[in-house]
Structure 1
Amino acid sequence: MTMLTTSLIDCLQSAQLIAQTGRGIFGVIVLAAIFVGVFLLAVLGFFFIRYGKLWFQAYMSVADVSLVSLIRMHFTKVNPNVIVQAKVMAAQAGLNIDRRDGISTRRLEAHYLAGGNVMNVIHAIIAAHRAEIPLDFDQASAIDLAGRDVLDAVQTSVYPKVIECPDPKRSGKATLSAITQNGIELKVRARVTVRTNLEQLIGGATEDTVIARVGEAIISSIGSSDTHFDVLENPDMVSRVVLERGLDAQTAFEIVSIDIADIDVGENIGARLQSDQAEADTRVARARAERRRAEAIAEEQQMKARVASNRSRLVLAEAKVPEAMAEAFRAGRVIGDNN
C-alpha cells in the first residue's frame, strides 16, 4: 500500500512538472494521459489488493482463474471465494477444467447466478469421479437447479439406501395387511434397498411412489397364494415375484433387492366373513319370517272382520222376518188358524 501511494505521488509530481514545462495542446494531452494512467493504476491496485490473494491461490493450484475474471465477478455480484474454491477443488481432484468443454470459470459463474449450489455440485462430481460414476457438470447442475440434492443422489448411488415398506413416518402403519385365498390375514413388513438412478433423477418418481408400488405388489402376490402356509414356508417367493415386475420404471431409483423382514399371522378373515354372512342370512330369514307372521296376523284379522260383517248382515236379515210376517197378515196373504 505504501509503494502504491509513493508511485501515485511521483506520477502527480511528474504531471505537474510536465504541465509547467509543456506548451499548448501537447502538454494538455500528456497531462490527461497521465491522469488516466494514474486512475487505471489506482483501480488495478485496488482490485489487486482485494483479490490478489485469491488469484495467487488459484495460480498456485493451477485452477485457471484470471484476475480479470475476479474483477468481473465483483461487478456481476458473484462470490469469488466460492468460485475459486470450487475451481481449486476441481483442479486438485483431476477434473477437466478446460475453458471450452470442462468446468470453466464462466460455467461456474452462470450456475451461481442461476441460484445453484456450486459447492454441492463440485462435491457431487468429485464423489462420482472417485466412484467411477458417469456424471458431468451439465447433468449435475441440471439436477441441482431442479431442486434435487445431487450430492445425496451420488452418495445413494455409491451406498444404497434401505426404505421401510410401509414407512411408519409416512403412512402411520407398521405393517402391510394382505389376505391369502384361504382367508387368512398376513401382516408383512419389507425392506427395499434402492440406489439412485442419475439418468432418471430429473422427472423421476420419488420414494413415495416406490413404497406404494412395492406395497401393492406384495399384497397382490400374497393374495394370489392358495394358503398362508405357502407364504410362511417360502417368503422369498413374494420378493422374487415383486422384483420381476420392474417396479422401478420411471422412478429416480433402481431397486437392488426386496427383503421380507417380518410376517405375522393375523385374523381369519375368511371365517369372520363367513360368520358375518351367516349372521346376516339369519337376520334376513328372521325378517322374512316376521313379515310372513305379520301378514298372517293381518289376514286373520281381516277374516275376523269379514265374519263380523257377515254376522251383522245376518242379524239385519233376521230382523226383517217379523216385519215381513206382519205385513203378510195385514194383507191377508196369511190365514191364521181358527181352531
Structure 2
Amino acid sequence: MSIEWILIVLLGVILPIVALLFLYNKAAGVWRYVRASRLGISLLEFLYHYAEMSIRKIPASLIYHLMVSAKKGGAVISLNVQKEFYKLIDRTVSLSIDQFNKSYREGELKLKRIGGFYILSGYMEDLIMKIISSVEADKSLIVLGEMGNAAEKSKQKYLETHLKAYRTSIAKVLAESSPIKDEDEKTNDDKVLQQRDELVERIFNFYAVDLLTELRSNRIFMSKGDNIDLFKLELFEKSSNALIKAQQAGLNIRFMDLEVYFGMNGDIEKTVDILLKARHLGFEIELEDLEKFIVAGGDIQTTLTHLIDAKNAGLKLELKELEKYLLLGGNISEVVKALIRAHQEGITEITIKDLSEYLSQGGNVNDIVNAIIKLRQENIDIPLVELNSFRAAGGDINQLTLGLLKAKQSGVVINMVKLRSFLAQGGDINKLITVLIKTRSADIDLTIEDYERLSRIGADIMKVFVTFKIAKRAKIAIEKGKLIELQVAGGDMFAYIKTLSIAKRLKLEINPEELEADVLDNRNVLKVTFAVIYAQKEGVELDYKKAIRLDREGHDVAEVVKWAVNPQVINIETKAILSKDGISMKLFPNITVRGKAPMYLRGSRDDVLSDRVNEALIKEVENVASYKEVLNSLNKIAIKVHKRLTGDIEIEDFPELDKEEVIDTNKKELRLNDGSAYEILDINIPNLEIGTDAYAEIKKEHAEVNMIIAKTESEQREALAKAQELEAKAKLIEAEAKLNEGMAHAFKKGHMDTKEYHKQKIFKDEDLLKDSELPKGH
C-alpha cells in the first residue's frame, strides 16, 4: 500500500472515527439525557449539533435541557431557534456591557439593568478596592445609574445598604490589622507597604467569593471578569424558561421577536408573567404593544393594575390608548382614576381620546373631569369639546366651573360660545359672571355683549350696575341700549341717571335731551345740579339752564352760589392818587360783596368793580386838602365811596356836587350796580401807602431840565467858536499858498533875487504870527 493511500485512510476514516469517539466521550452524558428524553434526534445528528455549538460557544447541555423542559410542558421549540436565541442574548448583552464599560470611569460605582439582571461596574477586585478606599477616605459608597422604576431604585438601595455592611466589616479589619495606624501617615518603608498589600489581598480572598455569591443571588454581576459568561447563561436560561412557559400558556411569542425588546433592557420573565396575567384578566396585549408602551416610559405592572380597576368599574381601556396618552406627558394613574370617577357619576361619553386632546393643549385632566362632574350634578350640560375650546382660549376651568355654578343658582343662563369669544378678547370671566349675577338679582337684563362693549371702553362695570339700579329704583323710563350708547359715546351714564333721579325727586326742571347733550359735552352735571339745589335752598334765583351756562363759560357754579349765599371780601389795590398838596399815595380797600348768581352770565365782575372803586377814591381824595387829612379820614372816605358806588349820594354829604350832579351820579351808579355780578355790601380802607411829594419831584425835574438846556446851549456856542477859528486858519493857509506861488513866479522871471526872496519870506512869517494872535517865540 502506497503512502498516499495510507494518508487517505488515515485522514478520511481513522481521524474522523477518532474525532467522533472523542466527541462522543465528551458529550456522552448529554446524549444519554437526550436519548432518555426521546427528543427524536439520532446520534450523528446530535454529534453534529454538539460540535457546532462547541465551536460557536453555545452551551449545548443547557440547550437540550431547555428542549426537554419544553417538550414535557407540551411546547415545541426547535434546536435552531434555541441556538439563535442564545446568540441573540450573547450579542445584545455583549454590546450593552461593552458600551457600559466604555462609559465607566475609575472611582465610579455604576449599576445597569439588562433584562431581569443587573451589571455592576468593574471587576470584583475593583469593588473591594473601592470599599477599602471609601474606608480610608471616610466617604460613603454611592451607586450611580439611571434607575427608571421602583424595582430598579429598590435594587440600587439594596446594593448601597449591602455594600455599607461590607464596608463596616472591612473597616474593622483594617483598623485592627493595618500596619499603618494613622490614616494621615505616609511611609516609604517597603516592608510596611508589603504588609499592607498582603492585608488587602487577604481581605479580597476572604470577601470576594462571599460578596460575588451574595450579589449573584440578587441577580447582580460584575461588568468585567469571568462571571460574565455565567451572567449570560443565567439570563438565557431564565428567559428561555419564561418563553417556554408563555408557549405552554398559548402566548404566541417568537424568540426572534425579542431582539428589540432585549435592546430596551426588557425583562422577559416579568413580561411573560404580565402578559399571562393580562390574558387571564381578558386583556389582549401583544409583545409589540408592550414594547411601544415601555419605549413611551410606561410602567406596565402599575398600568395593568389600573386597567383592572377600569374594567371593574365597567370601562374598557386599551394599552395603545394609554401609550398615546403617556406620549403626551400624561399620568396614567391620574387619567384612569379620572375616567373611573366620571363613569361612576354617569358621565360615559368622556373617552381617553378626549382627555388626550385636552392634555395636549396644556389642560389638567383632573380639573376638567371634576368640572364636568360638578356641572352635571347641577344639571349644567356643557360638552367636553366646549370646555376644551374654553381652555384653549386661555380660560381657567376651575374659575369657570365656580362661576357657572353661581350663575345657575342665581338663574343666569351663560352662553358658552359668547363666553369663549369674550375670553378670547382678554375679558375677566369671573368678574363678568359676578356682574351678571348681581344684575340678575336686581332684575336688570345685562347681557355678555353689553358687558363686553362697556369693558372695551374701560367703563367701571360696578358703577354701571349701580346706574341701572338707580334708574330702576327712581322709575326712570329709559332703554338700556340708550344708556350703553351714551357711555360708549364718551358720556357718563351714572351722572346722567343720577341727575335725572335727583331732578325727579326734587322736582327740578331738567330736560332729558338737553341733559344728555350736556353729559356728552363732558359737563359736570351732577355738580351743577347740587349747586342749583343749594342755591334754591338759600333763596338764590338760579335754575339748571342758567347754571349749566355758567359751567360752559368756565365758571365754578358751586363757587358762584357760594358767593351768592355768603358775602366775600375782595382786596383791591388802587392806582397812585395825588392829594391836593401833591403827595402820591396808594389805598388798599377791602370790598365786601355778595354775588348775584344770575348776573354771572352777563354782569361785570372784578375788573369793572376795581375800576369803579379807583374812580370813586380818586374823586374823594382829590377833594381833601392834604395827605394828612386823608390819613385821618379813611373811614369817612370809605363811607362816601360806598354811598357813591351804591347810588346813595346825599347832597349834604357831597357839598362839592350840585343837585343835578348828585342825581346824575346816583342814576349812573345804580345802573352800573344792576349790571354787576356783585352786590356791594361794605367798603373798608384798612391801609394806605404814602408815596413821594409829586410837586417837589416836578420842580426838581424842571430844574434838572433847565440845567441840561443851559449846558447844551454852552456846548453849542463853544462848538461855533471852534468852527470859526478853523475856518480862519483855512483862509490863511489858502492865502499863503497864493503868495508862495506869486513869489515863485517872480523869482522865475527874474524880478526877484535870492536876497529879496528871503526878506519877503521873513516879512510873511511875521504877518502870519500877527494874524494868528499867537505870542512870538511860540
Identity of aligned residues (%): 23
Alpha carbons of structure 1 residues 46 and 56: separation in structure 2 relative to 1, 3 Å: closer
Alpha carbons of structure 1 residues 263 and 4: separation in structure 2 relative to 1, 3 Å: same
* Distance in 1 (alpha carbons) for counterparts of 2:681 and 2:618: 20
Q: Could you state the TM-score of these two structures normalised by the residue count of structure 2? A: 0.28
Return the letter of the residue paired with 1:164: N
SS at match of 2:445: helix
| 1:124-175 deviation per Cα after TM superposition (whole angstroms, max 9, x unaligned) | 1111022111111111112112222111100111122222212xxxxxxxx6
Moved more, 183-192 or 266-275: 266-275
- Can you give the 5+ residue segments of structure 2 that lack an aligned partner in the other structure? 1-406, 416-443, 452-460, 646-668, 726-778
Alpha carbons of structure 1 residues 291 and 105: separation in structure 2 relative to 1, 3 Å: closer
Q: How does 1:261-280 map to 2 (within 5 A)?
A: 261-280=686-705
Alpha carbons of structure 1 residues 58 and 227: separation in structure 2 relative to 1, 3 Å: same
Return the letter of the residue paired with 1:86: T
- 1:219 and 2:644 are equivalent in the alignment: no
Structure 2 residue aligned with 1:325:
none
Structure 1 residue aligned with 2:493:
80
SS at match of 1:46: coil
Structure 2 residue aligned with 1:177:
576
Q: How does 1:59-208 map to 2 (within 5 A)?
A: 59-60=472-473, 63-66=474-477, 68-77=478-487, 78-90=491-503, 95-97=506-508, 102-166=509-573, 176-208=575-607
SS at match of 2:542: coil
Return the letter of the residue paired with 1:252: A
* Distance in 2 (alpha carbons) for counterparts of 1:224 and 1:234: 12
Q: Highest relative contact order (Cα 8 Å, sep 6+), 1 or 2?
A: 1
SS at match of 2:446: helix
Higher strand share goes to which structure?
1
* Distance in 2 (alpha carbons) for counterparts of 1:234 and 1:165: 19
* Distance in 2 (alpha carbons) for counterparts of 1:106 and 1:219: 52
Alignment check: 8 A CA contact 1:210 1:248 kept: no
Return the letter of the residue paired with 2:685: I
* Distance in 1 (alpha carbons) for counterparts of 2:413 and 2:485: 28
| 1:74-130 deviation per Cα after TM superposition (whole angstroms, max 9, x unaligned) | 1233422112332344456xx214xxxx23544432321233210121121111022
Alpha carbons of structure 1 residues 281 and 89: separation in structure 2 relative to 1, 3 Å: same
Equivalent residue in structure 2 for 1:232, among 631, 644, 655 = 631
* Distance in 2 (alpha carbons) for counterparts of 1:126 and 1:280: 67
Q: Could you state the TM-score of these two structures normalised by the residue count of structure 1? A: 0.60
Alpha carbons of structure 1 residues 129 and 272: separation in structure 2 relative to 1, 3 Å: same
Q: CA deviation at 1:210?
A: 2.4
* Distance in 2 (alpha carbons) for counterparts of 1:285 and 1:215: 41
- 1:45 and 2:445 are equivalent in the alignment: yes
SS at match of 2:563: helix
Q: CA deviation at 1:192?
A: 1.9
Q: CA deviation at 1:281?
A: 4.7
* Distance in 2 (alpha carbons) for counterparts of 1:123 and 1:260: 36
* Distance in 2 (alpha carbons) for counterparts of 1:278 and 1:117: 65
| 1:235-291 deviation per Cα after TM superposition (whole angstroms, max 9, x unaligned) | 134333433143656443333222112024332222232343345456657877x59
Structure 1 residue aligned with 2:680:
255
* Distance in 2 (alpha carbons) for counterparts of 1:114 and 1:7: 36
* Distance in 1 (alpha carbons) for counterparts of 2:472 and 2:445: 18
SS at match of 2:691: strand
Q: Which of these two proteins has the greater Rg computed from alpha carbons?
A: 2
Structure 2 residue aligned with 1:54:
467
Alpha-carbon RMSD across the aligned residues, in angstroms, is 4.0
Q: CA deviation at 1:69?
A: 4.1
Alignment check: 8 A CA contact 1:185 1:269 kept: yes
Alpha carbons of structure 1 residues 279 and 107: separation in structure 2 relative to 1, 3 Å: closer
Q: CA deviation at 1:233?
A: 2.0
Alignment check: 8 A CA contact 2:572 2:591 kept: yes
Alignment check: 8 A CA contact 1:189 1:260 kept: yes
SS at match of 1:57: helix
Return the letter of the residue paired with 1:265: I
Return the letter of the residue paired with 2:569: V
* Distance in 2 (alpha carbons) for counterparts of 1:154 and 1:70: 35
Return the letter of the residue paired with 1:160: P
What is the aligned length? 250
SS at match of 1:191: strand
Q: CA deviation at 1:178?
A: 1.4
Return the letter of the residue paired with 1:129: Q
Alignment check: 8 A CA contact 2:470 2:498 kept: no
Q: CA deviation at 1:216?
A: 3.9
SS at match of 1:76: helix
Return the letter of the residue paired with 1:65: I
* Distance in 2 (alpha carbons) for counterparts of 1:59 and 1:83: 14
Return the letter of the residue paired with 2:553: A
Structure 2 residue aligned with 1:330:
none
SS at match of 2:535: helix
* Distance in 2 (alpha carbons) for counterparts of 1:85 and 1:165: 41
* Distance in 2 (alpha carbons) for counterparts of 1:236 and 1:71: 66
* Distance in 1 (alpha carbons) for counterparts of 2:465 and 2:697: 82
Alpha carbons of structure 1 residues 80 and 291: separation in structure 2 relative to 1, 3 Å: closer
Return the letter of the residue paired with 1:109: E
Structure 2 residue aligned with 1:13:
none
SS at match of 2:681: strand
| 1:37-75 deviation per Cα after TM superposition (whole angstroms, max 9, x unaligned) | xxxxxxx73269986653443454xx4423x34431212
Structure 1 residue aligned with 2:426:
none
- Can you give the 5+ residue segments of structure 1 that lack an aligned partner in the other structure? 9-43, 167-174, 302-339
* Distance in 1 (alpha carbons) for counterparts of 2:445 and 2:598: 48
SS at match of 2:570: strand
| 1:305-324 deviation per Cα after TM superposition (whole angstroms, max 9, x unaligned) | xxxxxxxxxxxxxxxxxxxx
Q: CA deviation at 1:208?
A: 3.0
Alpha carbons of structure 1 residues 70 and 127: separation in structure 2 relative to 1, 3 Å: farther
